[in-house]
Amino acid sequence: MITVGYCCNFIDNIKTTLNEYNEFGYDYILAPLIHPKCSEFIPFSEVFLAGKDRNKVVMNIPKRNFRFRQNVRLLEKELNFAGHAGIQNIILECPDDHESIENMAMIIHRKLNPQSETNDHHNLAIAIKLSMANNKNQAQELRKDPQDIDVDYEWKKWNHLRKIMQFHPNISIALEVNGELSDSDRLNRWLGEPIKFIILPTSVFITNSSKFPVLSKVMQSFMGQVNFKMAGNFSIIIKGNNLHGHIKHYCQYIAHLQKTELFSDRLQKFCQYYEDLLQYPLQPLKDDLDSSVYEVFETDLIKYQQYEKAIRKALADIQKDVIIAMVVGAGRGPLVDKALKAAHAVGKFIRIYAVEKNTNAVITLEMLRELKWGGYLGLPHGYVEIVSCDMRCWSAPERADIIISELLGSFGDNELSPECLDGVWNYVNQDAICIPQSYSSYLCPVQSQRLYAQLSLDKRSNINAYEYAYVVHIRNAYFIDKPKKVFTFEHRRGDLHRPPSTRDNNRKKRLTFRSKIPAICHGFVGYFDCCLYGDIRLSIVPSTQNSDMYSWFPIYFPVQTPFDINDGHDDNDQIEIQITRNVNDLHVWYEWTISRPIQSRIHNLNGKHYSISLH
């Protein structure tokens, strides 16, 4: 459930006010902690707040000119007091001029990075208040002609601030929304930022036929998008005078809105709590997969439906009645099941060798053979043999007509499908079919403080978290440009029996991207698509992805230093990246280097940080 708070302009008695709004249905109040009549710092003493009520007060710090030393001092006192009183959440309005932003950022940054390691109990979360469209304020403040207004000014203030604070994970945005929701690129850029609070003035509500406050369709849809992009991790604050009967109606409407279709998410069941969480990619060659990992993968209906269709087509194309199939990397047997079903469907007999190197999974395969696949007698349409062996070392008793595997990772070849399938060459027929037939990886530049901020928390020794790749169910991000194709691997019919020495799995690719609006690039997101057989495909590339398939999350390649990108037409208004795939006897690894608009280091040089083991 999304919580709803109310923004109080001033507070006479904090306990009474909190109780009042709690009764109206609000979860918390946003309140200034400085008495409105006093310029002095006289906060309401925390002794009037019971421990359980501490998290029901968000401290509101209004916009100030931090070029004045006394305002900086006041801010320090307010932050200290919040820590002292156990008030964890603070909303701090962003000033307009650069010097104020810098002074403010310095104070916050100092507070979030205390010198002493033992004294880190002040775990403040600070949201910077910004207006989605601040044009009028901007014109007033800077006495500019409205013609000169920079529509990106408010976002640029934030971008400036968070760069000073090195994208600290405790910094987020409190975004005040007005009625104007026209420019979709700029809207999407906001949605790629870590929004913790959406502030809704009562004036953006319209009145329905029953005189109750509601949001327009456009605004409803926007709120649904915020919910999706933040994976439900945000809160709504109502602000301003009651314009619709009773102040509680706003809160009731938000409760109602959350129950609508706009706030639902079909894949949530499988992916919840994984949103924007960086995970280390699997290394299936080096580490045996756990049962729970197999279990999750096996539940992906769409993926295996596609496999079954592809196998059926391929079996029909093989001009034999008895077909020798090898499922290489059989796991706990889902592709064996699908191959048996496909043979039954096309009326052929299939002899399947299920080859698996994980001895724990082999136990399950043997059990399934007994219980489901007819044991040593077999089924009318097929017979299964279990082979406990690495596919690259197996001395097969006969040659295969078809090789079936599921060795693809989020970036296609990153779980070493090419190297594994190189190992089957001496036990296949000349015209053997390979499922999958080919696969390609894709990359696009991404802006996402949420992803990047997690890297600073990575505690692995000897590994630079910024030169590693991560599997992640991305939500809170802005995609700066469309994905472009990177590496392709093909296993064509008639090619499979050629020895590995005739192939080269090293790759190199240079790509360029542009941005429609000013943005900051925190790295690159990778995807893959794949031709299983004929026109049967698997894809996680957004434009072509199979819907409801959740076996693969995208991959994230960070950059050490995020860089700004402009919307102009110079060479330096484009992003240029070179990525290589490198193979030696022990490992495969990627290296990535940005050459525009800035020149970066070669990330992961020699696979020092992230390499995929061949053994």
> Binder to a copy of itself among 84, 98, 156, 320 (CB under 8 A)?
84
Residue 456 within binding range of a copy of itself, rule CB under 8 A: no
Q: Does 76 engage in binding with a copy of itself (CB under 8 A)? A: no
What backbone torsions phi and psi does residue 393 show, to the nearest 5 degrees? Answer: -115, 0
123 binds a copy of itself per the rule CB under 8 A: no
Q: Candidates 62-70, 112-120, 313-321, 338-346 — which segment interacts with a copy of itself by CB under 8 A?
A: 112-120
Task: Compute the least distance from the CB of residue 364 to a copy of itself, in Å.
Answer: 5
If one asks whether residue 83 binds a copy of itself (CB under 8 A), the answer comes out as yes
Helix (H, G, I), strand (E, B) or coil at 231: coil
Catalytic annotation, pick one of 93, 176, 415, 591: 415
Distance from the Cα of residue 547 to its chain's centroid? 17
Q: Does residue 380 interact with a copy of itself by CB under 8 A?
A: no
Instruction: Pick the stretch among 223-231, 288-296, 410-418, 501-509 that binds a copy of itself (CB under 8 A).
Output: 288-296
CA distances from 537 to 123, 327, 575 (A): 47, 19, 30
Among 60, 159, 306, 364, binds a copy of itself (CB under 8 A): 364
Q: 359 vs 501, which CB is nearer to a copy of itself? A: 359
Nearer to a copy of itself, 313 or 332 (CB): 332
Instruction: Rule CB under 8 A: say whether 287 interacts with a copy of itself.
Output: yes
For 464-491, give the DSSP string. -GGGS-EE-B--S-EE-S--EEEEEEE-
C-alpha to C-alpha distance for 469 and 611, rounded to whole angstroms: 9
Nearest to 418 by CA among 399, 442, 440, 387: 440
Catalytically annotated residue among 406, 419, 467, 591: 406
180 binds a copy of itself (CB under 8 A): no
Q: Is 46 a catalytic residue?
A: no
Q: Closest approach of Cβ 112 to a copy of itself, in Å?
A: 16
Structure tokens that stand for 563 in this block: 């860089």
Interatomic CA distance for residues 403 and 318, integer angstroms: 12
DSSP code for 362:
H
| 360 bridge partner residues | none
Q: Measured from the CB of residue 410, what is the shortest distance to a copy of itself in angstroms?
A: 15
Task: Write the DSSP symbol of residue 519.
Answer: E
Q: How far is the CB of 294 from a copy of itself (least distance, A)?
A: 9
Per rule CB under 8 A, is residue 42 in the interface with a copy of itself? Answer: yes
Residue 10 touches a copy of itself, criterion: CB under 8 A: no
32 binds a copy of itself (CB under 8 A): no
Query: What tokens does 120 get?
Result: 């880190």
List binders of a copy of itself among 45-64 (CB under 8 A).
45-47, 51, 54
Start-to-end C-alpha separation, the chain:
46
Contacts of 453-458 with C-beta under 8 Å, sequence gap 24+, read 453/167, 453/168, 453/169, 453/194, 454/169, 454/277, 454/278, 455/278, 455/558, 456/166, 456/167, 456/168, 456/169, 457/169
Which part of the chain contacts a copy of itself (CB under 8 A), choosing from 207-215, 255-263, 278-286, 309-317? 278-286
Residue 280 binds a copy of itself (CB under 8 A): yes
Give yes or no for a contact between 404 and 377, defined as CB atoms under 8 angstroms apart: no
Q: How many residues bind a copy of itself (CB under 8 A)?
A: 42
Q: How far apart are CA 490 and CA 540, in angstroms?
A: 18
- Tell whether residue 43 is a contact of a copy of itself (CB under 8 A): yes
Q: Contact positions toward a copy of itself, by CB under 8 A? A: 42-43, 45-47, 51, 54, 77, 80-81, 83-86, 116-119, 121-122, 280, 283, 286-288, 290-292, 295, 332, 358-361, 363-364, 367-368, 459-461, 463
